[in-house]
Chain A
Amino acid sequence: MQDQIRDVLAAHGRMAVDPSEVDSQADLYELGLTSTASVNVMLALEEAFGIEFPDEVLKKSTFASVHNIEQVIEGLVKSSA
């Protein structure tokens, strides 16, 4: 799952670094992820995983690291199964 998340970040995150080389706990905002780019990342993740981010997870911390994104997606995938 982390590889898919990193692919989405590479395509839509507009970060200053290569997401494939970013530690899963690294702060993505400090690495250049902006609020506008995080919306694109969210929409692309919805397409990639066939999920929809509900209002309650639309917080800054959700997109703050690869690990955080993975945790939220895993929860959404489980709840939709």
Chain B
Amino acid sequence: MPRAVAVGLPEPAPQISASGECMITLPGEVDEYRVRVGCDVVAIEDVQDSLAAFGDRYLRKVFTASEINDCQGPNRVHGLAARFAAKEAVIKAFAEPDMPFPLREIEVTRDGPLPLLRLSGAVAERAQHQGWLSSSLSLSHADCHAMAVILVVCSQAESE
């Protein structure tokens, strides 16, 4: 039975460890484009508690006016929680823990049914520096939790 391999990608060269085991180190690149992934999960109850404790101050600190407007109706808190997860997923994709991340500079917008990522301010500048070219964002939620996954394709090298 042939092994499934990604089309167009070179197979990673196996190495033999000191104990004789076969090891492969998978590259973090696809066709020389660097790929970054971030994910996060948020408890719906936590966002409910934040809203109950801090109300509008919480909303204004974390979400843009557009995001707040997009989250209406019975699933409002679930939508907010998914957007919070998206912001944290993006922060993880940057992989720079000492960088400031104003949460409103990471915004989830919509293009029909698809969520899109919009960056602004210092976060947008940092994305340009890291060579971010495009992204794909996925949001989901259940009764208890919301989650987000972001995949980012970057240029071959960071800008100086």
* Chain A interfacial positions (CB closer than 8 Å to B): 12, 14, 34-37, 39-40, 42-44, 55-61
Contact = CB atoms under 8 A, between A and B. Distances in A.
Main secondary structure of the interface of A (DSSP, over half): helix
Interface residues of B, number: 25
A59 B50 contact: no
Contacts of A58: 100-103
Contact of A59 (B54, B84, B97): B97
Interface stretch (B29-37, B38-46, B128-136): B38-46
A37 B50 CA distance: 8
Contacts of A42: 61
B49 A40 contact: yes
A8 to B, nearest CB: 12
Contacts of B101: 58-59
Given A35-B88, A36-B42, A57 B54 contact: no
B40 A35 contact: yes
